[in-house]
Every structure is written in structure tokens, then in C-alpha cells.
Structure 1
């Protein structure tokens, strides 16, 4: 990756770091979304009930759609989908949710499964009908392959009968409520034909009109969830007949004699193809979490710069950022946010560039791990940023509360994080040679050398996987659950360490693409702080294995403190590299130096020359 800018003026340090955070083509890939959220329809409204905010989200979705040259082009462009989530997430989490469902899961799946272009998509491209996606069931979340909703082929009518057989098979949390107008959905159901279960397929179903569910469809509102309002519902089907062409998929279908033709590949591969849009969804969740973390951290840094507090007795007031107790957590969060952003780009690039099956499997694992690691770290950054802004950050008009709760949705959406870690752990654990030696070799090194720090991060990863393999080998082969339970604790720690190592390598790649100068120095400082803090958390294991000396372990705390001070000194410039539009920040009072004016009372005594309030 090489960071390039087209302006004639020399790029500033913040500009160069923006290219690191958002990619070398950030103006082309992100400029549209930066401009969109700066326009009046996307400015932060005052107050509103949950119902009004939900209607606003759907109104904004239609405005967004009219602003596009092609909704189909957006659905087919992974980077554009990720950018949508990165910029809309901090502005309107409800809008981000319904837009991601419509463009990625719904419209993207239609395009993927109809490459010949035979299906009329005009209703969805114009948003006369909004698309949704019905896969998860009450009793089947991460084990979606076990879902119970059925679509049975009816030869006499030459179509399918969609049915929900029990309460556990109700579709859980699709946005099928009355808000937003008429909706169609892609429904995942088990296809039954010729007395054979052909596995899970997607079916295009008209769900509601502008007022109510259509016959054969039952929609019930779920209890209010935490975070931004979305019309999540329980949806079920009562012997709903679907025409033959409701079934998605090229090369599959029902023949003239009523037999079902199955596409190539085994059942698991066909299922993964059916729900293939989950992977772009995970990349988008990473982008959304990183974008939300950048926004909250930028506000916290700005607020800490103009919130004045009393200094020592007899000294002038100072910004609260002057105190180590305040700027220290924000400096660590800054290193984490850069790591999150870079790991997101690394996973996205790997997924887009893989050309064969083995490469796609490896890239998919990185996407899964990155989604989980980034959304978890985003939660930590957002909560820390909120705390640093005190009680004012608890008020909705200051922009943080929706993001504190909104990140919880990202942690669960497109696959629960623990499930993603567990799958990655199993793949890494059992694909490895149990007798494999560590890829890192103990020996002396310099804690200021990023290469040595990455060696230590690799050693942490290998240590935890070695422990997991040793525990698994103590359990009889016949007890598969017992083996997994014995190994899973340290294996999940190994996956976490793998994520830290991947982020550190992404730091290194990004720094090598920068010219010598201030931007390269700032990124190097963030890189070392990120790695040193992780090494410090694992210093006991590294000392025991001979990777660190006792003196080095004792020096880690001092090294971290020096890096915290260095990063904190440049926090305002680093936050500026997030390239948040001025209009966005203007809508959040605590992001500006005149934040107290938001609470002024025009009828108060201080506006009447000290007299009584009128």
C-alpha cells in the first residue's frame, strides 16, 4: 500500500495519517459519504420519540438511495458498503442497520444469486419496496444450518409452500414492522422436494404492504431493544404459497418431472454460498465499529482540550487533558483505534484479493477474527471515551449514548463474537501440527524495535495454542466435546493474540508506506504503544519462556508511560486525521469550545444585568 494524494499542496501530517486510516483511495471511497452526512437531512435532530426516530431512519434511507447513481452498484461494491457503515454508524445507527440489511444482505444476495439478470429489481432499487433478510430463528442463531422453517415443493401448483412449524422456528429480529412502508424479504428455509431435504435455500417473499402483513405472513413486534430504534420483529409463515421463481440460485430448481436439481458442491458449501453475504456484512460491522470508535474518541479528545479545571492552588486553570489520569486512557485508546482501523483494511484487502479456495478460507478466518476483535475493542474505546467526558456524555444530544449501546448490536450481528472466535480457534488448533515448535525464537531484543515487539506478539500466540493442544491431547479422542472444552479456553486466548499480531503487522505495513517525516513518526509511536501494552499484559509468560529478561519486564511500565506521554502530546492532530466533517462535530455540543452555550438560559438573571429572571 502506498499513500498518495492528488492535491498540489504538500499533504499535512493529518492528511497522510487519514490515508493510512481510510486507505490510499480515501477521497474516492469515502468522500461521497463524508459529504452526505454533512447535508441537512443527516444533521442531528433535536429529541424525538423512538417511533419518530425510526421513521426518520427510513426517510433518510430513501434520501440516501436517491443520492446514489445505482443501488445495485453499491450492493456489489464491498468497499462502498464498508464506507457506508463507517460514516453512517456515528450519525444514525438505526439508518445504518436498515441500510446494511437492504443493500448488502437483501439486494446483494439477489444480485449474487441472479447473475443472469433475469429478475426485475426495480421495486428495490427505487425503494418502492424495502428489502429485509430473515435467517436467524428463535431457537437457531449461530447454528443457522439447523433452522426449521420449511419450503416444500408442491408439484400440482408448481411452487413452494413456506411454513413455520413451531415457535422456535419463528424468524427472529428482521426489520419487518410497519415503519418504512412495504417490505419484501429473503427468507432462509429448508427446501423439501421428492421427500428429500435439500438443505437451506433463500426465497424471495413479499411480506407486507404499506399498512400490514400480507396473507400467510404473521409479524409481531419484539420488546424494545437497547440502543437505537429498529423495527425488529418475530415473523412466521402459515402455509404461504410461493411461485417457483421465488427460489434464488443459478443452476438449481425443479425439473419438468418435479425432481429438484441440486447445484455443485456438498451441502455445507451450498449453505455457505446461500448465506455468502454474511462475510461482507462482517467487514461492514468492523468498519461501523471502527468509525464509531473514531468519532467518540475524537469528541473526547476535543472536549478534554477545552474543558478547563482548577490546577494547583494559585495557578491558572488548565485543560483536563493536561492530567495523566485523563490523557493516559485516551492515548491508549488512540493506539487501539489506529490498530482497529488498520486491521479492518487488512482483512478487507485480503478478502478482496484472494483468488482460490484455500486463500478464501484463510481470508475468511481473518475477516471473522477482525470483526470480533474490532467490535470488542470498539466497545472499550467508546465506553472509555464516554467516561472521560463525564455526565455530559450521557445526554443524547452529545452523540455518544447511541454509540455506547449501538456497538453491542455490532458485537452480535453477522455472527456472535464468541462463536466467530471459537470457529477460528478450532480451525487454527486442529489444522496445526501438535508438535510444531514456536515460530518465535527466544533471544535478546530491543523493546523500542517494532520487529522485536512483533516477535513477542507471535510468541504469545504460540504459547496459548501450545497450551490448548496440550490440554486437548490429555482427553480421549472419542470425547470430542471434552477435548474441545479442555482446549477452548487457551485456544480463544490464542485467537485474541493472533488478532493483536495481525494488527501489529498492519501497523508495520502502513508505516513502511509513509515517507520519512512526522506522519511516519506518529504512526511508529502508536505502533510501539499498542505492542508494548499488549506485551506488558503477557510479560509473565514471555519471561518464563525466555523471550524477555527480568530487566526488560521491569522496564515495560516505563516504556509505556513514555509512549503515552508522546502520543498524548499529539492527540489533537491524531484525532484530526479521522477526517470527521465539521457539520457532524457541530451537532455534538461537547465537541466544541462553546459547549456550555448549549445549556444557556436566555431568560436567566445573568442576561438581565443581574436582576430577577423574567
Structure 2
């Protein structure tokens, strides 16, 4: 992949060792190769944002900017097929684009993952020229959800009837509820084609839902037979969410994305190696799983960015010291740094769980079907848990910045609303957690996971291994409750059984996520040498675990896993860890490796944030001509590279 910046040199010995090691914990052992391109890209001028108190761009201007940036990004790639075919590149792209421009992350994710990725994954009976899509002469989009079908997308009602005389398909929207309800389908940004999820009908028989490649618009309008209407503005998003419908639109046989799920051959006969319409649909839209990894990555990147800004702002926002004492940074107060320390432990957990899910899914894709179900389940659990946690972290970070955090130019408001989209995109969190809950509950009922028996009870809360067993026990307790409630349902109505079990089962999924995050912490600790970096990570890991244990301490006490004295001491233990983490918040935030150029675009991230609000014509302004006006000229710090060296963009 061609880089926009000079290649980083070899790691400089002992340069910022704690920060560098923690960066590798967050971004992986090969952080420069995996993340360096995207990190450098977002630091370059096309991705910078204006500073100062002037009104920001309109939604239309923001969308146009996102499309211009997408073209800059695409031109910087050796091949646009790279993000579509490399799960790690795709995830890293979202990690870095989302904090800079959530709209860009949305249109890039749709084009590279859902659109190009699906085209590359599926067979075609006819050669398919992708050059226009690779060069972005035509942008790709993805039309699955309908007005009446979201999480039940397997029930979409748009049809694609095979016409053997013309050897192609007729796409049709039968009623208002079957209109596609998806973003990025208008002519904004240039001509577009879409992959349309439609119900294949062959000789009057419903064969299930498949994807069809359909040209949607030219540069200015929808093509004949296609209607595209803008939906009302969506909270926080400038992306063109639209209603799209089809009135007997014909596409040739090669437009169908075929494979093991089925195809129509040269003999014009439909054949499939996959039994069942639902399974065929899941094979067709398998790129949605990668999309969930991307949503986790977007949430992780956005949470890290807002937390870093809040930590920095707390260090240079001064408040009265009281009784004639000099002013002090607001971060010295427990009420301020406590929530940020807790958020830091969560953000590290989010990052580690994201990488754990990505690693397992990538291995399962190579291994084949045997491991795929468990890996996809972890992706689902991680996506829901990470995006929900990101919302909490982002809102907390914004609040710690007061009124400044509400101003668009300080970068947080887009991320507050952007994470709401991630919570719903690629499968609503509650829906995918419900599916995971059913699978995990079946494991619990069939005894697939047994309670460990070789552990001291109760143990030492300072022992990481004991903390891990408590987190595992919390998960077991919730699924045991769910199983017990299911067993008490007198009849076999699946809905009634699920309604009886769903409350505790969903709590079990949450506990499952906490356990996996804690295990990822433990693995990262094992890989670090003794020293300050390991100490910092260990403090975060214990804080993360103890906060969850405290929330479930009553259950653990009743189960005999904790003593009354241990439950009573949990508050002090958490407070001690907050006190240990708080002095290192700046160092921990530096491990996020956010480029100085990126931070410079958010005024409150800099110590001279008030310069962004200065008025050069006001009476108080007596600064010398050498002092620049506005933040854009005052805060251009270098940030450490992944090996300890500094990185600056060319030109």
C-alpha cells in the first residue's frame, strides 16, 4: 500500500518505552504495518478541519467533503481492492476515519466492504469489469434493509423475477413497505451502482434472497425505473439516507451474485448447493459480519479520540484552587478524573476485545466452517458491547468538557451522534445480542461449558486469576437463571420460552463480553515484560474487572464466591485503583497514538484553546504581530510514531 508520508525508520532505543508498548497493546504487535498508512493519511491536509468559532459546514457541504476525501483516499491506495479483501486493513481504516469524519467512514465502509467486498467474494457466470468501481468513477452502495424489514432482512419483499426469454431479472418493489431504506443511494458524490437484496423468483417459486448488481444513478438523477427519495435528516449524519424503489427494472443474468448459495446457469436453470432460503440469504450477505467488525473499530477509534481530548482538556482547564490558592487543573478533582480513569480502563478493554474478535474471525475464515459459528458469535457480542460502551465513554468525555464539548469545532458532537449509527448499523445491537444469547444459552443447557472446580473459594481479589474466575462465574450464574426460567415454561411456545429467558440471558451475553475483554487484558499482560508499561496495564485490568465484579457482588456473595468483607472492601479497592490510574491518564491517552495534526484541529485538545476564540479587533487584544491568531497556528505538536520516532506529513 503506497504511503503518503515517508516510511518510519527503525524504532529509536528506549524512546517513550511505556507509551510505545501500550500503543502496541492497543493496535497490535505490527502496529506500523497495520495502522501506519491510515494514521498518516488522516494527518494530511485533505482530512484537516477548520478551527475557530466560525459556523461549521452545512450537512450538504459535509457530505460533499466526505466524497472528496473518499477520492483522495482511493487515489492513495495501490489498489482499491486492498481494503475490500484485507479484514485488518478494513478495520484499521474505520478505526482512524471515524474520529475524523464519521460520514466518510460510512461511505467508505459501504463502498469497500459491503459493495466491493461482496463483488469479490461471489462468483459470476459472466466476467465482471470492476474498473469503474475500483477507480471510483462509479461509487458502490448496498441496499438490503426495507421500510418494513430491518433486523428481519431475510424477509425483504423486493423481487427479482427471472425472465428466461431475456435471460435476466426484473426487479420490482411491490408496495411502500418494500422500499429500500438505506444510505448513500442518491446521486450525491457521483454516479452510483448498488447491490440490491431481492427475492429471487424462478418460474413462480421463491428461491430466497440474493444480491443483484444494479446501476442506480448517473451524476445527476436516478436511472429509468428507479426512484430515489431523500429521507428526513438523520440525527448527526449528513449521509444521504434514502428511500429507493424499482419499477420493473431489468438487469442481465450476470447481475446476480452467485456461488454456493445458488446461480442460474447457461441452461437457464437455477441450482443451489445450499439448502434453505434463510441459509442462502446469510451466504449472500456474509459481508455484514465484516461490517460488524468495522462498526466495533469505528466505535473504538471514536471513543479513544474523545477520551484523549477530555483528558488533555482536564489538564489545562484551570479552576479556582479556593481560599486564595492558585488555580488548579480541573483534573486534580476526584469527581473529574475518576470517571475518566474508569473510561480509560473501558477503552483499553474495548480495544483488546475488538482485536480478539478480529483475530478469531480471521483465523476462522482461513480454517473454514468448523470454527466460523463461534467466531461470528464473538464478533456479534463484541460489536454490541463495544458500541454500547463507546456511547457511554463518549458521552462521559463530552460532559467532562462542559459547554466546550458541545461545540462542533471541538470534534465531539459528531462522535456522540455517530456512535448511535454504529449501534444500529449491520444489525441492531439488541437483535444480534439476542441471537448470541440463544446460542450461549444452548451451550449452558447442554453443559458445553463446565464450572471450574480447581479454584480456591473465596480467593484473593488481588489475584488476577481469581478475578478471571469471578467474571466467568457471573456469566454462568446469568445463564443458569435463564435456563431455569426456560424450564419453568409449561408449554413449548418458542416465543414464551424466549420471553421467560431473555432478561437474564441478555445479561449473560453482557457478562460474556466482560469475560472475553478481561481474558484479552490477561493475554496482553502476559506478553509485556516487567516494568512500568505492565504496571499501567495491570492497574487498568484490575479496575475494569473489579468494577464489573462490584456490580454483581450480591450474586457472588450469595454464591459463596465472595465474603461479606470482600464485598465491603470493593469500594475501597476500586478507589485505590482510580488513584493509581489517574496520575498516568495523559501517558495512557498518548498511547492512542493520535497524530498531533488531528488533535490540533480540536481546539480544546491544546493548552492554548482560548486562542481559537480570540478577536483580533477587540480592545483587549495587545498581542505582538509574531503571535498567531487562532489555534490553527499555535498547536502543531509532533506525536510519537509507533516505534518512538516522530512523524510529520510531507508538504
TM-score using structure 1 length? 0.96
Q: Deviations over 1:95-120 (max 9, x none)?
A: 00000000000000000013899311
2:374 match: 362
- Shift, 1:265, TM fit: 4.3
Could you tell me which runs of 5 or more consecutive residues in structure 2 were left unpaired when the two chains were aligned. 1-8, 624-651
Please give the alpha-carbon distance, in whole angstroms, between the structure 2 residues aligned to 1:566 and 1:461.
28
Alignment partner of 1:213 out of 205, 215, 222: 222
Equivalences for residues 288-303 of structure 1 within 5 A: 288-303=298-313
Would the aligned equivalents of 2:185 and 2:241 in 1 still touch at CA under 8 Å?
Answer: yes
2:428 match: 416
Check if 1:607 corresponds to 2:611: no
Would the aligned equivalents of 2:142 and 2:182 in 1 still touch at CA under 8 Å?
Answer: no
Please give the alpha-carbon distance, in whole angstroms, between the structure 2 residues aligned to 1:6 and 1:374.
33
- Shift, 1:160, TM fit: 0.5
Would the aligned equivalents of 2:445 and 2:483 in 1 still touch at CA under 8 Å?
Answer: no
* 1:365 alignment partner, SS class: helix
Check if 1:247 corresponds to 2:256: yes
Would the aligned equivalents of 2:479 and 2:504 in 1 still touch at CA under 8 Å?
Answer: yes
Please give the alpha-carbon distance, in whole angstroms, between the structure 1 residues aligned to 2:451 and 2:622.
75
Alignment partner of 1:262 out of 272, 280, 295: 272
Please give the alpha-carbon distance, in whole angstroms, between the structure 2 residues aligned to 1:254 and 1:505.
47
Equivalences for residues 396-545 of structure 1 within 5 A: 396-433=408-445, 438-439=451-452, 443-545=457-559
Please give the alpha-carbon distance, in whole angstroms, between the structure 1 residues aligned to 2:21 and 2:126.
42
1:10 match: 14
1:551 match: 565
TM-score using structure 2 length? 0.91
Please give the alpha-carbon distance, in whole angstroms, between the structure 2 residues aligned to 1:255 and 1:98.
33
Would the aligned equivalents of 1:194 and 1:260 in 2 still touch at CA under 8 Å?
Answer: no
Check if 1:27 corresponds to 2:32: yes
* 2:620 alignment partner, SS class: helix
Would the aligned equivalents of 1:221 and 1:231 in 2 still touch at CA under 8 Å?
Answer: yes
Please give the alpha-carbon distance, in whole angstroms, between the structure 1 residues aligned to 2:153 and 2:225.
23
Check if 1:313 corresponds to 2:327: no
Q: Answer with 519-528 or 596-605: which moved more.
A: 596-605
Q: Answer with 165-174 or 368-377: which moved more.
A: 165-174
* 2:142 alignment partner, SS class: strand
- Shift, 1:195, TM fit: 2.1
Please give the alpha-carbon distance, in whole angstroms, between the structure 2 residues aligned to 1:261 and 1:191.
12
Equivalences for residues 116-135 of structure 1 within 5 A: 118-135=127-144
- Shift, 1:294, TM fit: 0.3
What count of residue pairs does the alignment treat as equivalent? 605
1:138 match: 147
Check if 1:327 corresponds to 2:337: yes
- Shift, 1:257, TM fit: 5.0
- Shift, 1:392, TM fit: 0.4
Judged with a 3 Å threshold, the aligned counterparts in structure 2 of structure 1 residues 116 and 35 are, in CA distance, closer, same or farther, namely farther
- Shift, 1:434, TM fit: 5.7
- Shift, 1:146, TM fit: 0.7
Would the aligned equivalents of 1:472 and 1:486 in 2 still touch at CA under 8 Å?
Answer: yes
Would the aligned equivalents of 2:143 and 2:180 in 1 still touch at CA under 8 Å?
Answer: yes
Judged with a 3 Å threshold, the aligned counterparts in structure 2 of structure 1 residues 423 and 266 are, in CA distance, closer, same or farther, namely same
1:339 match: 349
Alignment partner of 1:566 out of 561, 580, 583: 580
Please give the alpha-carbon distance, in whole angstroms, between the structure 2 residues aligned to 1:518 and 1:351.
32
Would the aligned equivalents of 2:553 and 2:567 in 1 still touch at CA under 8 Å?
Answer: yes
Equivalences for residues 217-236 of structure 1 within 5 A: 217-236=226-245
Would the aligned equivalents of 2:213 and 2:256 in 1 still touch at CA under 8 Å?
Answer: yes
Q: Deviations over 1:175-225 (max 9, x none)?
A: 111210100000000000022111000000000000000001000000000
* 1:570 alignment partner, SS class: helix
Judged with a 3 Å threshold, the aligned counterparts in structure 2 of structure 1 residues 28 and 434 are, in CA distance, closer, same or farther, namely closer
- Shift, 1:245, TM fit: 0.7
Please give the alpha-carbon distance, in whole angstroms, between the structure 2 residues aligned to 1:408 and 1:333.
18
- Shift, 1:608, TM fit: 5.7
Would the aligned equivalents of 2:295 and 2:383 in 1 still touch at CA under 8 Å?
Answer: yes
2:387 match: 375
Please give the alpha-carbon distance, in whole angstroms, between the structure 1 residues aligned to 2:403 and 2:599.
18
- In the TM superposition, structure 1's runs of 4+ consecutive aligned residues that sit over 4 Å from their partners are 434-437
1:42 match: 47
Would the aligned equivalents of 1:442 and 1:547 in 2 still touch at CA under 8 Å?
Answer: no
Check if 1:189 corresponds to 2:202: no
Please give the alpha-carbon distance, in whole angstroms, between the structure 2 residues aligned to 1:462 and 1:146.
34
Would the aligned equivalents of 1:194 and 1:258 in 2 still touch at CA under 8 Å?
Answer: no
Would the aligned equivalents of 1:303 and 1:389 in 2 still touch at CA under 8 Å?
Answer: yes
1:612 match: none
- Shift, 1:576, TM fit: 0.2
Please give the alpha-carbon distance, in whole angstroms, between the structure 1 residues aligned to 2:312 and 2:273.
56
Instruction: Report 1 or 2 for greater relative contact order, CA contacts < 8 Å, sequence distance ≥ 6.
Output: 2
Could you tell me which runs of 5 or more consecutive residues in structure 1 were left unpaired when the two chains were aligned. 610-614
- Shift, 1:228, TM fit: 2.6
2:405 match: 393
* 1:605 alignment partner, SS class: coil
The RMSD of aligned alpha carbons is: 1.6
